[in-house]
Amino acid sequence: MIEIRTDLAIENREMYQEQNEGEVPGVEVEEERGEGYTVTRVKILDERGSTYLGKPKGVYITIDVPKLKNADQDLKDEISKLLAKEIKGIGITDEDTKTLIVGLGNWNVTPDALGPKVVDRVLVTRQFFIAYNKDRDETVANVAAISPGVMGLTGIETGEIVKGIVEKTNPDLVVAIDALASRRMERVSTTIQISDTGINPGSGIGNKRIGLNEEYLGVPVVAIGVPTVVDAATMVNDTMDLIIGSMKSVAKVGTEFYSTLEQVSSEEKYDLIKEVLEPFMPNVVVTPKEIDSIIDDLSIIIGNGLNIALHHGIDLQDVNRYIS
């Protein structure tokens, strides 16, 4: 069987709708358009929605910015503010919220390094609250941050590291940043997904087996992710479907041709995918050539968004000018 690989709720919904009419049962969607961007809020309300979309109940907000890649600074700033607004909108932060930011992913693998790079950009303040023995501050909130690495580097489940730290430092909120895989190239580096469900096993472009979610960590977890790759097997599969679909559209229903097209089996397709991608399968990704600089840009946009969302006395002008 070929598995379409995506970490975006919005794409799971699209896949449902490719095969069915109407909205996904148990799911509510609202869309909001701005200049240069679209915000889509997919709410999975119950078990049915959860089963259809393969994701836990909760809110999945997608900010789509088709021109983010070549955005000027004004649009980037706009997106940082929008991200901050959506994070706040989830409703779990105020001035007294103690946050632990977790940058997931492997810093040695470029398209997986988004999380650690965002961590380098956030304003970490918890040490000052400790040093001055304070509970609150007029300008900044209590924020800690860590990049725990991946199991191949540490030998330890990422979830265990984070849980150990949560138990020692008792944050009110965990924000986890991760690089994602999308199904479509057009979403790579142009879409930000924010969710109140945390990171669940199998998500992200690495393989995590323990979830980073409220159930496991005992505190709410907001997940922020951006697709940085398309899985190559998914792209090859979609390409085959496209060409088959294109031929079907000109064939007459009922002809031998049409039924042959109908019958191209999953196994045949899988064999062809293997032929194209071996010997690297399943670890081949499709990614823009300039992914290194794209990740740098994204980490600034997201880092700024987090700084505005979490620190009540900090606005965009401050983050651009006073934090580096």
| Three-state DSSP class for residue 33 | strand
Per-position x/- string for 168-207, each x denoting binding to a copy of itself as judged by CB under 8 A, each - no binding = xx---------------xx-x-x--------------x--
CB of 126 to a copy of itself, least distance (A): 3
Q: Retrieve residue 286's tokens.
A: 């499709």
**How many residues are present in the chain?**
324
Minimum Å distance from CB 222 to a copy of itself?
Answer: 18
Does position 86 interact with a copy of itself (CB under 8 A)? The reply is no
Residues 205-224 binding a copy of itself (CB under 8 A) are 205
Q: Choose, by CB under 8 A, the member of 58, 111, 220, 225 that binds a copy of itself.
A: 111
Interaction with a copy of itself in 295-324: which residues (CB under 8 A)?
296-297, 320-322, 324
Amino acid occupying residue 185? M
Instruction: Looking at residues 11 to 50 of the shown chain, list those that interact with a copy of itself (rule: CB under 8 A).
Output: none
Cβ neighbour number for residue 73 with a 10 Å cutoff: 8
Q: Which is nearer to a copy of itself, 96 or 322 (CB)?
A: 322
Task: Assess whether the previous peptide bond of 201 is cis (omega < 30° from 0).
Answer: no
What is the nearest approach in angstroms of a copy of itself to the Cβ of residue 49?
Answer: 29
d(CA 119, CA 123): 9
Name residue, tokens 């294109």. Answer: 246
| 132 or 289: CB nearest a copy of itself | 289
Min dist CB 20 to a copy of itself, Å, is 23
The 125-144 contact track toward a copy of itself, x by CB under 8 A, reads xxx--x------------xx
Please pick, from the candidates 251, 266, 306, 309, the single residue that binds a copy of itself as defined by CB under 8 A.
Answer: 251
SS3 (DSSP) at 218: coil
Nearest to 93 by CA among 102, 85, 105, 81: 85
Quick check: 156 binds a copy of itself (CB under 8 A)? yes
- What tokens were used for 193? 């997904």
By CB under 8 A, residue 155 contacts a copy of itself: yes
Minimum CB distance to a copy of itself, residue 55 (Å) = 23
State the minimum distance, in angstroms, from the CB of residue 148 to a copy of itself.
8
Contact string 49-78 vs a copy of itself (x = CB under 8 A): -----------------x--x--xxx----
Among 91, 94, 139, 242, binds a copy of itself (CB under 8 A): 242
Rounded distance between C-alpha atoms, residue 146 and residue 79, angstroms: 24
The 37-44 sheet, strands edge to edge? 27-34, 37-44, 58-64, 191-195, 221-231, 173-182, 99-103, 143-146
Question: Taking a C-beta distance cutoff of 8 angstroms, is the pair 128, 134 a contact?
Answer: yes
Sign of CA pseudo-dihedral 303, 299, 209, 59: positive
Of 38, 50, 97, 110, which one interacts with a copy of itself (CB under 8 A)? 110
> 231: buried, middle or exposed (CB in 10 Å: 19+, 13-18, 0-12)?
buried
Q: Does 109 bind a copy of itself (CB under 8 A)?
A: yes
